[in-house]
Amino acid sequence: MPAKSKAQQMAAGAALSAKRGEQKESDLKGASKEMAQSMTEKELKALAATPRKGKPGHARED
C-alpha cells in the first residue's frame, strides 16, 4: 500500500522509527502516533518506502 502524499510517507517513517525503538513513541504527534499504535512494522515499512517523487505535499480528502 503506497503512501498517497509526502506527509503520509514522512509520518509513516517517524512511526516506523518509534516502532523499532530508535525514537520514543511519546515524542510522536498526530498521524504518526496513531500509525505507530495501529499498524504493524511491515505495513509502516511499505508506506515509508514509497518514493516521494510526484507525490503531493498533502492528499486531498475525497
Using one digit for the tens of pLDDT, what is the confidence trace for 7-31? 888 899 999 999 999 999 889 999 9
The total domain count for the chain is 1
Q: Can you give the pLDDT at residue 28?
A: 92
- Looking at every residue in the chain, the average pLDDT score rounds to 87
Q: Are 36 and 28 in contact (CB under 8 A)?
A: yes
Q: Are 5 and 54 in contact (CB under 8 A)?
A: no
Domain assignment present for 53: no
Q: Residue 27 burial (CB < 10 Å; 0-12/13-18/19+)? A: exposed
Cell numbers representing residue 29 in the block: 504527534
pLDDT above 70 for 61: no
Residues spanned by the domain of 39: 6-48
Domain assignment present for 1: no
